[in-house]
Amino acid sequence: MNTLFLIGEALTDSNGISKKILTQVDALKRLGMKVDLSYLESNDKNELIGRCINGERIDKYSKIHIISEFQWRCKYKNVYKYIKEKKIKIVFIRYIHFANPLFISFLKKLHKSDIKVLLEIPTYPYDQEYRYLKFTSWVVLLIEKLSRRKFKNYVTRIITLTPYTSIFGIPSTQINNGIDPDSINMIQNNKSGNDIDLIGVASIAHWHGYDRVIEGLHNYYSENPGTKKVFFHIVGDSSNRESLRYKKLVKMYNLSDYVIFYGKKSGKELDVIFNKADIAVGSLGCHRISINNVKSLKNREYCARGLPFFYSETDVDFENKDFIFKVAGNNNPIDIGEIINFLSKNKFDSATIRKYAIENLTWNKQFEKVLNDVFPDFKKRVTSRVCS
């Protein structure tokens, strides 16, 4: 079945979301779908310059930022033309809050053409994510709020990582974040000595809460000078507002020897950093955006790496697992002594942790749920295809 996977962002090698999208596309293909991928194109300065489908540009955007921002949110003529020419039957949209009247018009055309629209909403509710953004973002959110009321007229199904069975009046399929284990290498940790290494990999936002680890390290070294050394390796955007705030904390607390900022890393460079780690750091600040139930992609990738990890939210795939350490969902500094005790009292086997990810957390399993909900006979089709 011909499918278009439509996203409103550029793909980059070092971005976790980009990797997630590509593994989602691969999973749909493994389930027998013919999938085309439509994404935004950016230049070396991260400026949006157009929209592509399968590597071929179908739209060129203005060099003026405010105009290009309007174009990617509102320009769908060539996308729709492609959909009709290729006889696309399903449009899967990763929705990151860009609804507006022209997007709704695009959905209406798809609906009239009897094309099924599946809208993936990674987090919900999401209005609180705009709490700390500038005024122009509030304007965009207001337009989005007014426009999304029309979704129920044109969207076939919502796909969500949340427990909501209906969003915007549309029935939803609850899935978990998935992974492609073949694209994630298990750690090869042959380190010696008593040092403890923590790793956090993220886009670096206030809900990741890495400041709690930095504050915890400050308390730990203030109270335990000369004892076991603990290091925090931070991988992700090292120049955004939240990272700059972390760097100020590190400088203020004289922790430059213990907190290392790597910037964005991927591939072998990222593997090298992971191979130093004893434990990974999940999100520690989801309470800051009033979210508790989360199915974080980073948790699943840590698991596929074979690493124990800690976080503060509720993640149904990991609650009560022996390789997980839960911390409170508040703004208090992380007790580094508790992390050390957790590691010292448990002997973790990376292969066993990774096996759990392979058996339970792949995208194939998640999309089977979606396609079974949208097409009741999908499972029968897959079985028939395999048997033949």
Considering the domain architecture, whether residues 351 and 291 belong to the same structural domain is answered as yes
Considering the domain architecture, whether residues 320 and 368 belong to the same structural domain is answered as no
Considering the domain architecture, whether residues 6 and 132 belong to the same structural domain is answered as yes
The span from the CA of 328 to the CA of 298, in Å, is 19
Considering the domain architecture, whether residues 212 and 354 belong to the same structural domain is answered as yes
pLDDT at 133: 65
The span from the CA of 248 to the CA of 245, in Å, is 5
The contacts of residue 88 (CB under 8 Å, 6+ apart) are: 2, 3, 4, 36, 82, 115
Considering the domain architecture, whether residues 135 and 227 belong to the same structural domain is answered as no
In sequence order, what DSSP letters do the residues of 104-162 get, joined into one string?
HHHHHHHHHTT-EEEEEESSSS-GGGGTTS-HHHHHHHHHHHHHGGGHHHH-SEEEESS
The secondary structure element, H or E, covering residue 274 is helix 267-274
Q: Tell me if 90 sits within 8 A of 2, measured CB to CB.
A: yes
The span from the CA of 272 to the CA of 280, in Å, is 14
Domain count, the chain: 2
pLDDT at 379: 58
pLDDT at 383: 43
| Residue 218 C-alpha from the chain's centroid | 29
The contacts of residue 123 (CB under 8 Å, 6+ apart) are: 129, 161, 162, 291, 294
Structure tokens at 27: 């999973």
Considering the domain architecture, whether residues 131 and 190 belong to the same structural domain is answered as no
Burial class of residue 375, CB neighbours in 10 A (0-12, 13-18, 19+): middle
Considering the domain architecture, whether residues 42 and 136 belong to the same structural domain is answered as yes
Neighbours of 100 (CB within 10 A): 17
Kind of pairing, strands 196-201 and 230-235? parallel
pLDDT at 388: 34
pLDDT at 44: 87
Considering the domain architecture, whether residues 196 and 130 belong to the same structural domain is answered as no
In sequence order, the β-bridge partners of residue 233 are 199, 260
Considering the domain architecture, whether residues 111 and 153 belong to the same structural domain is answered as yes
Q: What is the pLDDT along the chain (388 residues), one digit of tens a residue?
A: 899 999 999 998 767 788 889 989 999 999 999 999 999 999 988 899 999 999 999 999 999 999 999 999 999 999 999 999 999 999 999 999 899 999 999 999 999 999 999 999 988 888 777 766 676 677 878 899 999 999 999 999 999 988 899 999 999 999 988 888 888 999 997 777 789 999 999 999 999 999 999 999 999 999 987 789 999 999 999 889 999 999 999 999 999 999 999 999 989 999 999 999 999 999 999 999 888 888 888 999 999 999 999 999 999 899 999 999 999 999 999 999 999 999 999 999 999 999 999 988 889 888 988 999 998 876 555 444 433 3
Considering the domain architecture, whether residues 234 and 283 belong to the same structural domain is answered as yes
The span from the CA of 219 to the CA of 119, in Å, is 45
Neighbours of 225 (CB within 10 A): 7
- By residue range, what is the domain housing residue 52? 2-178+362-387
| Amino acid in the structure at residue 318 | F
CATH number at residue 157: 3.40.50.2000
Q: Tell me if 7 sits within 8 A of 20, measured CB to CB.
A: no
The span from the CA of 96 to the CA of 141, in Å, is 11
Considering the domain architecture, whether residues 75 and 118 belong to the same structural domain is answered as yes
Considering the domain architecture, whether residues 151 and 166 belong to the same structural domain is answered as yes
Nearest to 231 by CA among 243, 209, 216: 216
CA distances 119 to 35, 93, 158, 194, Å, are 16, 5, 5, 48
